[in-house]
Structure 1
């Protein structure tokens, strides 16, 4: 079940972010940005959703409205729940939110060292638009044109 996150979800979101992104520290050479996020502030600003599965928060997603489309800013699934299709549920939710909000496309970025994420997004129809170095992180930007959902 997807629902908007509340401040009561901060600890669960932080734990998921730490567990999901820590394997990338050695590849990137530092903690990925999602491990440094102030999730309480993000929740208070809106656009954070959690996925409850088996009576626990097992994943979360952060969506931001921008001038150019809906930004899928962050997505993570608890490592113990990976392989259950929850990432697909989160991605489907993001794309529905974008379409329901009238956007013609959705975009995201990921670190270039997260090659499996880049491949996963490409399989879902996202195409690379550009690369950039931001805050010392090498990011790959991708976008997907939305069909009527």
Structure 2
């Protein structure tokens, strides 16, 4: 696969987005002793709200990102890449896509959270310039909150 396009998600992408979330987050179930929140997201509603963009290649959907404007920042709700394409820079491209959206919208920052059990994500966000701003138990999950000033 050589070309990855990032575009707005449509209803036709729903099943592929759900499958990507299940596959990408399955490895965390044992660590967290529960299914991660993105495995239960209402992707149909998020797509209808225009909050989901997908990364597609010649073989179809390889990842997605959920994000939206919130106050002075853009909230990055969820980014996921199919495990078979993990490590190929697709997640980084999706995050950069959100950051470009935020800049173009005049936002001051991008904020996100991840589960503290997702140690790979904690390190990745720090490498991408996000700084930890809080940790708290919320919605049954131990979350780590990050912010990146633009």
Aligned CA-pair RMSD: 0.8
2:39 equivalent to 1:35: yes
Matched, 1:73 2:77: yes
Paired residue for 1:12?
16
Task: Find runs of 4+ consecutive structure 1 residues off by over 3 angstroms.
Answer: none
Q: Can you list the C-alpha shifts for 1:25-62, whole angstroms capped at 9, x where unaligned?
A: 01111000000112111101111000112241100000
CA deviations over 1:1-48 (Å, ceiling 9, x no partner):
111000000000000000000100011110000001121111011110
| Equivalent residues, number | 146
Other-structure match for 1:134: 138
Residues of 2 paired with 1:129 and 1:88: CA distance?
A: 21
What TM-score do the two structures reach when normalised by structure 2? 0.94
Structure 1 residue 74, shift from structure 2 partner? 0.3
1:47-58 to structure 2, matched below 5 A, reads 47-58=51-62
Judge which range, 84-93 or 5-14, deviates more. 84-93
Query: Which 5+ residue runs of structure 2 have no aligned equivalent?
Result: none
Separation of aligned partners in 1, 2:57 and 2:136: 35
Q: Deviations over 1:86-131 (max 9, x none)?
A: 1111011011011011011111100010011010000010000001
Between the aligned partners of 1:24 and 1:76, the Cα distance in structure 2 is 13
* 3-state secondary structure, aligned to 1:14: helix
C-alpha distance in 2 between matches for 1:10 and 1:32: 18
- The answer to whether residue 48 in structure 2 is matched with residue 44 in structure 1 is yes
Return the alpha-carbon distance in structure 2 between the equivalents of residues 35 and 46 of structure 1: 19
Tell me which moved more, 20-29 or 38-47.
38-47
TM-score (norm 1): 0.95
1:123 and 1:84 mapped to 2: Cα distance? Answer: 16
Taking structure 1 as reference, are residues 68 and 29 closer, same or farther at Cα in structure 2, changes over 3 Å only? Answer: farther
